[in-house]
Structure 1
Amino acid sequence: MTEPIRWGILGASNFASEHMGPAIHMADNAELAALATSSPAKAAPFRAMQPRLRVHDSYDALLADPEIDAVYVPLPNHLHVEWTRKALEAGKHVLTEKPIAMRADEIDALIALRDKTGLLATEAYMIVHHPQWQRAREIVQSGELGTLTHVEGVFTYNNAEDTANVRNDPAKGGGGIPDIGVYTYGSTRWVTGQEPQEITHADLTFENGVDVIARVAARFDGFTAHFVNSMRLHPFQEMLFMGDAGWLRLTAPFNPIVFGEAKLEVRSNQGERMERFPSDWHYKTQVENFGKAIRVGADYPWSLEDARGTQAMIDAVFEKGGRG
């Protein structure tokens, strides 16, 4: 039996306390060992999960902790590159929230540092760890849908009243595309194995310097794609892959359990079926896969190069539609 990965978390964000902290605590090969925060109140929910938790009063102090193997970085977007780099320089494996950078070329230095240190560094792109997405990729690439012709992706929510939310703050890398465009764009790339050839349309609506509604069209090799992402529309999410011999639809592709049951609906010349995934939790699986990659060299399904591809697409969307 391999030793568990001892995790430290930089910052006591709500997302970390509600999702990734519990995922690390529940994962089979992980130990929630330390947290960096100067706020005892923010540390409380983490201590409730793990009473032996060590709490450091600074990020640097946690990175200097010799009993930490891996660091999870849930900080605001504009801090991701800096603290990913510092974690690697401190000799820690690192899992950083998406988007790991604000521009694609910023990821190049992280790739070089990852290769130099031999440590695992990647973006917390949790959906590729969910079996509904692994099945979607398998089905699309198997040819069951025939020739893929079009992809439709929608992911929306409304945080207009939450003015203090970092997603509404341009200084902290806010915006709907960095937050949820990564899912519609990245999942299309991951399932098809293709990169966009051209962003053909980008109609972006901005408020206070952040994109709040994005209607984007792209052309890939052999198929087109259309995406709607918004922080000002009622919550909805769906991905649809359409071919000349069938189609595949995911009805809770990004927040399964929270938004609804993960279901994969297929209608093709081979018939109709519904595949259900009622209890799979991709945050926990992500942590476990990260540990397997470190301890036994298992393949990890999302690399810095994968993250760079999605960020390059985001950069192209902003180039086409403007940055507000």
Structure 2
Amino acid sequence: MYCNSLSVIKKKMAEQPIKFGILGCASIARKVSRAIILSQNSTLYAVGSRSLEKAAKFAMENGFPESAKVYDSYDAVLDDPDVDAVYVPLPTSLHVKWAVLAAQKKKHLILEKPVALNVKELDLILEACESSGVQFMDSTMWMHHPRTASMKEFLSNSELFGDLKSVNSSFTFAAKQDFLENDIRVKPDLDALGALGDAGWYCIRSILWASDFELPKTVLALRGPVFNKVGVIISCGASLHWEDGKVATFHCSFLDNLTTDVTVVGTNGTLHLRDFVIPFEEKKASFSVATKSGFTDLLTGWKPKPSEHHVTTDLPQEALMVREFSRLVGSIKFDGSKPEIKWPTLSRKTQQVLDAVKLSIERGFEAVEV
């Protein structure tokens, strides 16, 4: 009887939604607020800003329940004992301070990317999370789309894809003049990594994802990066090299037309993806693959032709991210589970490569070992 009652209690506890606090009212926080509402296992519980009026306006405009707490500081959110987890969309220069403090306050953490200015700062964050037993996850949303798992199935098929040989990734968008002059991503004291940290993070993650997160041996920044007048990168690229001969390249920019492409080439097959950061449609995404393709006898076409594959989802990728994170938090909170180390590991590897690209640029385009 006691065991039955205990199992019912645990089930009820597990059904309780994870209570989120949000630090700051950045534009991207609107999207994640909606994701928290859609996830079905989390709830918007609190928001904090340096201005009470700004926090209240954000809560009202983004679907917070009337019972939600509105605070005039980030500290107040972290000091609220009922907040289970926090989403931190603050400028990268503030991540180490507030992420470490959040972990010390036993708050599970979704941290906006880039997660830190360098791997040294990230290690401070991850050490704080590990010491407090809290879950860490970066906000790379495309990782949680079901399309990503479907593509990995193709890449893992030795007959269809073979051995990985090369990856090319690009994320660019033509920012307006106001962005180029005033956005936090072009300010050296706020987001000093610029386009490399913002768009380049996605490119690097896609390359590591395709290579099963095997780190490259060396990284070489491509010549011709573009800096703004205060020295922040607004366009750059790099090549990555593995000891077994694999190679990858990427280009990221605030100056080019919107492009989010990934091409992965194996000995037998090729995968093409044109919208890897944000799918063209919220609930349907596609990718194309080709296996053992060649030209026809008269060189008039392909044989066999690439095939298009479509993946549907009931929830957008950001809501699936929040759902998975909240599931992990619930397991820790109600079942005594340990934090999942996969997510901080992927964040650290991405940061390591990003750091190497930055160092290669600073050293005059020398190869840098990762």
Q: Which TM-score band (shorter chain)?
A: over 0.9
Aligned residue identity for 2:57: A
Partner residue, 2:233: 211
Aligned residue identity for 2:36: I
- Per the alignment, in what secondary structure is the counterpart of residue 209 of structure 1? coil
1:199 aligns with 2:219: yes
1:183 aligns with 2:183: no
Instruction: Return the match for 1:273 from 295, 307, 310.
Output: 307
1:168–1:261 Cα change, 3 Å: farther
Shift, 1:110, TM fit: 2.2
Aligned residue identity for 1:169: K
TM-score (norm 1): 0.93
Q: Percent identity?
A: 28
Shift, 1:129, TM fit: 0.7
Aligned residue identity for 1:242: V
Shift, 1:87, TM fit: 0.3
- Per the alignment, in what secondary structure is the counterpart of residue 28 of structure 2? helix
Partner residue, 1:104: 119
Instruction: Return the match for 1:115 from 127, 130, 133.
Output: 130
Instruction: Return the match for 1:134 from 149, 169, 172.
Output: 149
CA distance in 2, matches of 1:253, 1:233: 17
Mapped contact 1:35–1:54 kept (Cα < 8 A): yes
Mapped contact 1:129–1:301 kept (Cα < 8 A): no
CA distance in 1, matches of 2:283, 2:231: 32
Instruction: Return the match for 2:59 from 30, 46, 70.
Output: 46
Shift, 1:79, TM fit: 0.7
Mapped contact 2:173–2:256 kept (Cα < 8 A): yes
| Superposed CA offset, 1:227-265 (max 9, x none) | 110011111110000112110011110011469962111
Mapped contact 2:113–2:138 kept (Cα < 8 A): yes
Q: How many matched pairs?
A: 323
- For 1:237-316, what aligned pairs fall within 5 Å after superposition? 237-257=260-280, 262-269=285-292, 272-279=306-313, 280-296=315-331, 297=337, 302-316=342-356
The RMSD of aligned alpha carbons is: 2.3
Partner residue, 1:32: 44
1:6 aligns with 2:27: no
Mapped contact 1:289–1:300 kept (Cα < 8 A): no
Aligned residue identity for 2:59: F
Mapped contact 1:252–1:260 kept (Cα < 8 A): no
| Superposed CA offset, 1:25-78 (max 9, x none) | 121100101000214245324224023221011000111111110011000111
The more displaced of 128-137 and 75-84 is 128-137
CA distance in 1, matches of 2:285, 2:47: 31
TM-score (norm 2): 0.82
1:23 aligns with 2:35: yes
Q: Runs of at least 4 residues of structure 1 off by over 6 A?
A: none
CA distance in 2, matches of 1:132, 1:192: 17
Partner residue, 2:297: none
Mapped contact 2:86–2:110 kept (Cα < 8 A): yes
CA distance in 2, matches of 1:291, 1:124: 13
Instruction: Return the match for 1:95 from 91, 107, 110.
Output: 110
The more displaced of 145-154 and 47-56 is 47-56
Shift, 1:323, TM fit: 8.5
Q: Which runs of 5+ in 1 are unaligned?
A: none
Aligned residue identity for 1:209: G
Aligned residue identity for 2:345: E
Mapped contact 2:96–2:124 kept (Cα < 8 A): no
Instruction: Return the match for 2:256 from 229, 233, 243.
Output: 233
CA distance in 1, matches of 2:280, 2:99: 29
Shift, 1:149, TM fit: 1.2
The more displaced of 271-280 and 82-91 is 271-280
1:322 aligns with 2:322: no
Aligned residue identity for 1:317: V
1:181–1:312 Cα change, 3 Å: same
Q: Which runs of 5+ in 2 are unaligned?
A: 1-11, 294-303, 332-336, 365-370
1:42–1:14 Cα change, 3 Å: farther
Aligned residue identity for 2:32: M
- For 1:56-67, what aligned pairs fall within 5 Å after superposition? 56-67=71-82
CA distance in 2, matches of 1:283, 1:192: 23
User: Which structure has the larger Rg over C-alpha atoms?
Assistant: 2
More strand by share: 1
1:158 aligns with 2:193: no
